């Protein structure tokens, strides 16, 4: 059992590195951004609400986002049995506290937080490129700037929260995908040898 939080700014590589870690450790992956985008493409009520925030580069309110995650965990009890990579959650201190409670109820906890650290000009470059290639709706310069601002004001304080809990492992998120994956695995192997 290994629960990881992949933490980092928009475009830092959370989704990309999650995929590599799933392959290596056989963990489940919950990307709250992906969950919300699925609701948006279905056009349901949650999707409409999510779209109104995502299109402005804002966070979905904590109470709603926490209920959405709790619902994913409740509907898929096998996820927490094996271990989960939480990608894009938590994004606020209140979400971190809620995650702690949700996992404690399931006799579990966050074992480590992997922070992917990437300079802002590189984040911009990656997201603009992806926007051009895939058409992801929030990958346009105006919304990217808002997402980065929201990250600095609302999400980055979590870094100190997890440092205080002794769980934060900062990784240089630049270089090739393989290089970054190697650094993540080295960090987990050094700090959580009994789990990996």
Chain residues that interact with Mg ion, rule: CB under 5 A = 14-15
Does 158 contact ligand AP5 by CB under 6 A? no
Do you know the residue count of the chain?
196
Establish if 182 lies at the interface with ligand AP5 (CB under 6 A).
no
Q: Using the rule CB under 6 A, is 65 a contact of ligand AP5? A: yes
Question: CB-wise, 91 or 111, nearer to ligand AP5?
Answer: 91
* C-alpha of 141 from chain center: 21
Q: How far is the CB of 11 from ligand AP5 (least distance, A)?
A: 4
- Measured between alpha carbons, how far is 195 from 173 in angstroms, rounded to an integer? 23
32 counts as binding ligand AP5 under rule CB under 6 A: yes
| 47 sits near ligand AP5 (criterion: CB under 6 A) | no
What number of chain residues touch ligand AP5 (CB under 6 A)?
A: 29
- Alpha-carbon distance of 48 to 79, in angstroms, equals 27
136-172 residues labelled b (16+ CB within 10 A) or e (exposed): eebbbeebbeebbebbeebbeebbebbeeeebbbbbe
Question: Residue 73 contacts by C-beta under 8 Å, 6 or more apart in sequence?
Answer: 79, 80, 102, 106
Query: From the CB of 34, what's the least distance to ligand AP5, in Å?
Result: 6
Q: Which residues pair with 154 in a beta bridge?
A: none
Give which of Mg ion, ligand AP5, none residue 177 binds (C-beta under 5 to 8 Å, depending on kind).
Answer: ligand AP5
Site residues for ligand AP5, 127-156, by CB under 6 A, read: 130, 147
Q: How far apart are CA 185 and CA 20, in angstroms?
A: 10
Residues that bind ligand AP5 (CB under 6 A): 8, 10-16, 31-33, 36, 53-54, 57-60, 65, 88-89, 91, 95, 126, 130, 147, 176-177, 180
């Amino acid at each position: 059992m290994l629960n990881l939080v992949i933490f980092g700014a928009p475009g830092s590589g959370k989704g990309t590195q999650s995929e590599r870690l799933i392959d290596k450790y056989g963990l489940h992956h919950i990307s709250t951004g992906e969950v919300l985008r699925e609701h948006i493409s279905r056009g349901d009520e949650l999707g409409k609400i999510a779209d109104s925030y995502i299109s402005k580069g804002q966070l979905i309110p904590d109470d709603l986002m926490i209920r959405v995650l709790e619902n994913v965990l409740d509907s898929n009890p096998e996820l927490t049995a094996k271990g989960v990579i939480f990608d894009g959650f938590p994004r606020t201190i209140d979400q971190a506290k809620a995650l702690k409670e949700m996992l404690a109820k399931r006799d579990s906890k966050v074992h480590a937080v992997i922070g992917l650290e990437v300079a802002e000009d590189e984040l911009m470059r990656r997201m603009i490129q992806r926007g051009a290639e895939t058409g992801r709706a929030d990958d346009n310069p105006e919304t990217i700037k808002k997402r980065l601002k929201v990250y600095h004001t609302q999400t980055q304080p979590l870094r100190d929260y997890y440092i205080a809990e002794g769980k934060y492992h900062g990784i240089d998120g630049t270089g090739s995908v393989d290089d970054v994956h190697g650094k993540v695995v080295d960090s987990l192997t050094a700090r959580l040898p009994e789990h990996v």
